[in-house]
């Protein structure tokens, strides 16, 4: 039997969380934060996503609010009794003068799984965003499952970024070749959107042998990286180092 569940969070300027709604395997918990952000941690309440599951998280960061969302552990996409693909939809809205840090742990695509993941972000003109995505293609010593991800970001109603990536049996041939992953099994990106970049543009540069920083057509930079494992990938996508580029 498949699971359908949508978890929701709303953050306000005063640090409040008028909506903090868990659902199914997605348990949302307010956790302690040492900084100026209200912090919410996603805790997995059961194994998910499995084949046929329909999971979603919706976060609304209202004007002036500062929200940090992370997760307690990696998310593992697993095969299930139902042969249909699983879906995992993330919808993030960030208001004027608000800031969201979306920093979950890695997504692991286990052999035999089939996951379609979509992340949609709507930013106000003065909103700030830090968003990290990390995918690990297969657990230790196994092949990857099928994984398709799409990230769409709009700022002030205009497109800022729209990209789709596919790995594993569902992807066209060559996805793990020399021109794409070159045999690596960890891939990720870190997107930073900040209105201050409009007055202080960032130049493109290579970060080590397998990562690159690219300025976008807007006040944003995108770091894209591949690595042999999760630890090496996290080092390439180190948040403090990336925020220092400005």
User: What is residue 46's predicted lDDT score, i.e. its pLDDT?
Assistant: 73
Going by C-alpha positions, the residue among 89, 84, 80, 73 that lies closest to residue 23 is 89
User: What is residue 240's predicted lDDT score, i.e. its pLDDT?
Assistant: 60
Would you say 152 and 165 are in contact if contact means Cβ atoms under 8 Å apart? no
CA angle 235, 241, 243 (to 5 degrees): 130
Q: What is the DSSP string of 92-120?
A: EEE-TT-EEEEE---EEE-TT-EEEEEEE
User: What is residue 246's predicted lDDT score, i.e. its pLDDT?
Assistant: 47
- Local confidence band at 158 (pLDDT 50, 70, 90 cut-offs): very high
Residue found under tokens 């919808």: 91
- SS3 of the chain: helix, strand, coil, percent, to 5: 10, 50, 45
Pairing of the two strands 186-193 and 220-227:
antiparallel
Q: Indicate the pTM of the whole model.
A: 0.93
Give alpha helix (H) positions in the chain: 230-236, 239-243
User: What is residue 72's predicted lDDT score, i.e. its pLDDT?
Assistant: 94
Q: Residue 79 pLDDT more than 50?
A: yes
Task: Dump pLDDT digits (tens) for 169-187.
Answer: 888 777 877 777 888 999 9
Least confident interval from 71-80, 214-223, 237-246? 237-246
Would you say 154 and 121 are in contact if contact means Cβ atoms under 8 Å apart? yes
pLDDT greater at residue 198 or residue 89 = 89
Tokens at 134, concatenated: 């990390």
Task: Dump pLDDT digits (tens) for 116-149.
Answer: 999 999 999 999 999 999 999 999 889 999 999 9
Going by C-alpha positions, the residue among 166, 180, 184 that lies closest to residue 233 is 184
């Amino acid at each position: 039997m498949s699971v359908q569940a949508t978890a929701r969070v709303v953050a306000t300027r005063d640090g409040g969380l008028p909506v903090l709604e868990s659902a199914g395997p997605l348990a949302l918990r307010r956790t302690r934060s040492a900084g100026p952000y209200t912090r919410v941690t996603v805790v997995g309440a059961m194994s998910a996503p499995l084949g046929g599951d329909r999971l979603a998280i919706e976060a609304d960061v209202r004007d002036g609010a500062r929200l940090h969302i992370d997760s307690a552990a990696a998310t593992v996409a697993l095969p299930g009794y139902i042969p249909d693909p699983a879906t995992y939809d993330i919808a993030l809205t960030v208001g004027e003068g608000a800031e969201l840090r979306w920093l979950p742990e890695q997504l692991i695509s286990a052999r035999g799984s089939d996951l379609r993941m979509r992340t949609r972000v709507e930013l106000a003109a003065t909103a700030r965003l830090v968003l990290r995505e990390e995918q690990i293609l297969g657990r230790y010593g196994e092949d990857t499952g099928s994984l398709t991800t799409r990230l769409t970001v709009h700022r002030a109603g205009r497109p800022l970024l729209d990209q789709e990536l596919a790995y594993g049996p569902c992807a066209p041939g060559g996805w793990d070749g020399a021109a794409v992953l070159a045999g690596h099994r960890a891939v990720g990106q870190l997107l930073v959107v900040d209105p201050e970049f409009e007055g202080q543009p960032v130049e493109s540069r290579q970060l080590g042998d397998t990562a690159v920083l690219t300025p976008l057509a807007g006040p944003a930079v995108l770091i894209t990286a591949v690595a042999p494992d999760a630890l090496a990938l996290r080092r390439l996508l180190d948040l403090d180092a990336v925020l220092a580029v400005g």
